[in-house]
Amino acid sequence: MRRLWILPFLVSLISCNSSETKSENKLEKAEKSEKVEILSQEKDKAADLAGRELQFVCACIKYEYVNEMTDEVIIRKAIEGMMSTLDLHSRYLNEKAFNSLKNLTEGEFGGLGIEFIMDDDGYIRVISAIDDTPAYKAGLKNGDLIVGVDGEYLGTNITDVEVIEKLRGKPGTSVKLKIIRERQAPFDVTIKRDLIKVKSVKAEVLDNIGYIRISTFDKNTSADIKKFIQENKKLSGIILDVRNNPGGLLDEAVAVSDLFLKNCKIVSTKGRTKDNSMEFFANGEDITNGLPIAVLINSGTASAPEILAGALRDNKRAVIIGTRSFGKGSVQKVIPLPFSEKTGIKLTIAKHYTPSGECIQGNGISPDIEAGYASIKKVDGVFLLREEIFKNALDRKETEKKHPDANKLPDSPMIKKNDSDKKENEELDFRKMSLRERAEKDYQLNKAFDTLKAINVYDKINGEKNNEK
């Protein structure tokens, strides 16, 4: 009989709790709805107040500003001011700038091959000069400020599109730039414009390691890299050099990453709306079958190559060597203004995130091995004392068979009087050097080769140990 009493009690208790829960849920929903309505009203009030303040300021300018202005000019200036305070990449595009941006990829024109950004103070700062372009050959560097074009001071009241118009022109014509470089007096450099036809991938093999230089990401980048790797099947490692790579196509950055990854996230793009948020994954197989990879980056590595470096680093697929990258991890969209159709805005709508969730924008990609700028000078004629040089050395004859020059003293270099007068930071013309010469003089590249060789030696030792077991 006790069970008969307990069961109705439990049923009654559950019924009561259920009705109480429903009542609480209704109360919560009502409170939530009320809060939403209050917030909505507050936002409307704030928007109305801001609108009235804007109208008041516009009226002050229209009727009291020292120079007469039309309503259209005042509104355009208001929009321009609003956009310029958002971030470095968001801009108001007047009719001239809007048309220039639309026609940027149309027609034939000469350029310099510079990727630049308008800094916080409104100055034009070089991100990088693309390989083999006029700017690259003229020696422009990451961080250079362009303060004048053809004798005209640019100042800070200029848009990025207007800068592009000043820099480009007919192929064969020249433009004179005034440059400010850190710790140097301002100087002029005259550059001859040319058609910018960049070969995005240059690749060769040294010491069984594939060196792949990616200067930008265009529609052929992933296909060219894939072809090189398939034609060189006996590689022991790969170096991806994306230093001073200013970016390019997002799809190609994803495609190149996909060549070396399988079944993992490459990058995510997150905005405030679903339309502006995407995720990209590796779908294929690693075409290198797990070969060790080193990626070279520096402060001129921006946007698309940062996606590649971040994907390979976070998925434990490559060692990143160099200095922290630029940190351009945002996406812009050009939106025509609906009433004029001749003007528009360029608006930042999303940011890029690495597979681990790290935002690239502003942070860049940090290297696993920090390697700053330095030059390596091979010193010839150094006397290295070893036992085999002595006449009575044990097994000297056996040593001579392996090392014929073991018992010979090297020639010492002649000391030149003017050697001490040479500048320590003298630029090396890497374009004319072989890969082996560059690897001997370029500290970061040398570091990459040494890292991959060390990995291969370590893997070989482990393989031998496993075979012994």
Instruction: Say if residue 215 is in the same domain as residue 360.
Output: yes
pLDDT, residue 102, reads: 65
Given a contact cutoff of 8 angstroms between Cβ atoms, the answer to whether 219 and 249 are in contact is yes
pLDDT, residue 105, reads: 44
pLDDT, residue 376, reads: 61
d(CA 239, CA 309): 12
Given a contact cutoff of 8 angstroms between Cβ atoms, the answer to whether 399 and 393 are in contact is yes
- Among 158, 192, 226, the domain boundary falls at 192
Has 71 been annotated as catalytic?
Answer: no
pLDDT, residue 292, reads: 96
Instruction: Say if residue 129 is in the same domain as residue 214.
Output: no
d(CA 320, CA 311): 11
pLDDT, residue 161, reads: 76
Task: Please pick, among 194, 215, 325, 328, the residue that the annotation labels catalytic.
Answer: 328
Give me the residues of the chain with pLDDT under 70, please: 1-32, 34-36, 38-40, 43, 101-109, 374-396, 398-399, 402-403, 405-431, 464-465, 468-469
> Strand, coil or helix: what is 266?
strand
pLDDT, residue 308, reads: 98
Instruction: Say if residue 348 is in the same domain as residue 451.
Output: no
Instruction: Say if residue 300 is in the same domain as residue 238.
Output: yes
Domain count, the chain: 4
In-domain check, residue 102:
yes
In-domain check, residue 376:
no
Q: Structure tokens of 281?
A: 């994954």
- CA 371 → CA 5, 99, 206, 320, 449, distances in Å? 80, 43, 21, 10, 13
How distant is the alpha carbon of residue 8 from its chain centre?
69
Q: In terms of C-beta density within 10 A (0-12 exposed, 13-18 middle, 19 or more buried), how is residue 91 classed?
A: buried
Tokens 């020696």 correspond to 139
pLDDT, residue 10, reads: 34
Instruction: Say if residue 102 is in the same domain as residue 80.
Output: no
In-domain check, residue 91:
no
* CATH of residue 317: 3.90.226.10
pLDDT, residue 337, reads: 87
Instruction: Say if residue 316 is in the same domain as residue 450.
Output: no
Instruction: Say if residue 359 is in the same domain as residue 407.
Output: no
**Residue 435 CB: number of other CB atoms within 10 A?**
21
Q: How open is the CA angle 29-31-32, to the nearest 5 degrees? A: 60
pLDDT, residue 412, reads: 47
Q: Structure tokens of 343?
A: 């003007």
Q: Which of 164, 115, 84, 93 is nearest to 346 (CA)?
A: 93
Has 314 been annotated as catalytic?
Answer: yes
In-domain check, residue 400:
yes
In-domain check, residue 272:
yes
pLDDT, residue 132, reads: 85
3-state secondary structure 210-233: EEEEECCECCCHHHHHHHHHHHCC
What H or E segment, with its residue span, contains residue 347? strand 344-353
pLDDT, residue 417, reads: 41
Instruction: Say if residue 404 is in the same domain as residue 300.
Output: no
Instruction: Say if residue 161 is in the same domain as residue 242.
Output: no
Confidence (pTM): 0.74
Has 303 been annotated as catalytic?
Answer: yes
Q: Structure tokens of 112?
A: 């310099």
DSSP letter, residue 267: E
pLDDT, residue 1, reads: 41
d(CA 216, CA 146): 22
In-domain check, residue 357:
yes
In-domain check, residue 30:
no
> Which residues, other chains included, contact 332 with Cβ-Cβ below 8 Å and sequence gap of 6+?
89, 90, 346, 347, 348, 349
Domain interval for residue 64: 55-85
Task: Please pick, among 303, 325, 351, 442, the residue that the annotation labels catalytic.
Answer: 303
Condensed to tens digits (0 to 9), the pLDDT of residues 67-126 reads 999 998 998 899 888 898 898 889 888 887 887 766 554 445 578 988 888 877 778 889
Instruction: Say if residue 236 is in the same domain as residue 281.
Output: yes
d(CA 322, CA 448): 9
Instruction: Say if residue 268 is in the same domain as residue 331.
Output: yes
**Residue 144 CB: number of other CB atoms within 10 A?**
24
pLDDT, residue 15, reads: 45
d(CA 298, CA 447): 14
pLDDT, residue 9, reads: 37
Instruction: Say if residue 353 is in the same domain as residue 239.
Output: yes
pLDDT, residue 193, reads: 93
In-domain check, residue 169:
yes
